[in-house]
């Protein structure tokens, strides 16, 4: 099997598994699959992909987008997640300004939020979605 046909696992660092499981399972409503022998939490994602949350010391998080979810109606998904306690980021930088949490650029719209450990997550919507 080639890599192009492989199922993807996204791995993100966390510091507190209980808090992370609540955020990803309850707030983002990702289906929890299992906890492995090393304490990593596994969640099922679309297309057979898997999210692996690995307990690591603080300071291991990326300052860039670690994972992005494609959605069909970005404002509606923002509103739904805000209702579940998710806080979205706003940016006001040259060439990178959000309005109502949304950046519009080149036919794509995106909004960012942080998980409890500071991992940067994104929702995005493309034209024709």
* Model confidence pLDDT, tens digit, residues 71-93: 999 999 999 999 999 999 999 99
Instruction: Report which DSSP code applies to 102.
Output: B
What is the maximal distance between C-alpha atoms in the chain? 46
Nearest C-alpha neighbor of 129 from the set 102, 109, 99, 100: 109
Which residues constitute the domain of residue 60? 3-126
Does residue 2 carry a pLDDT above 90? no
Q: What is the CATH number of the domain that holds 93?
A: 3.10.180.10
Distance CA 111, CA 101 (A): 6
Give how many domains the chain has, as a whole number. 1
SS3 3: helix
pLDDT digits (tens, 9 = 90+) for 46-67: 999 999 999 988 777 777 899 9
Mean pLDDT of 1-9: 80
């Amino acid at each position: 099997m080639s890599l192009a046909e492989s199922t993807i696992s996204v791995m993100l660092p966390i510091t507190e598994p209980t808090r992370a499981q609540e955020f990803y399972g309850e707030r983002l409503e990702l289906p929890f699959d299992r906890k492995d022998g090393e304490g990593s939490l596994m969640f099922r994602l679309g297309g057979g992909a898997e999210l692996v949350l690995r307990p690591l010391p603080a300071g291991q998080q990326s300052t860039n987008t670690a994972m992005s979810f494609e959605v069909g109606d970005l404002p509606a998904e923002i509103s739904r997640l805000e209702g579940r306690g998710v806080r979205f980021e706003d940016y006001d930088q040259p060439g990178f300004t959000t309005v109502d949490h949304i950046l519009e650029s080149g036919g794509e719209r995106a909004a960012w939020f942080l998980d409890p450990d500071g991992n940067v997550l994104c929702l995005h919507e493309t034209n024709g979605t």
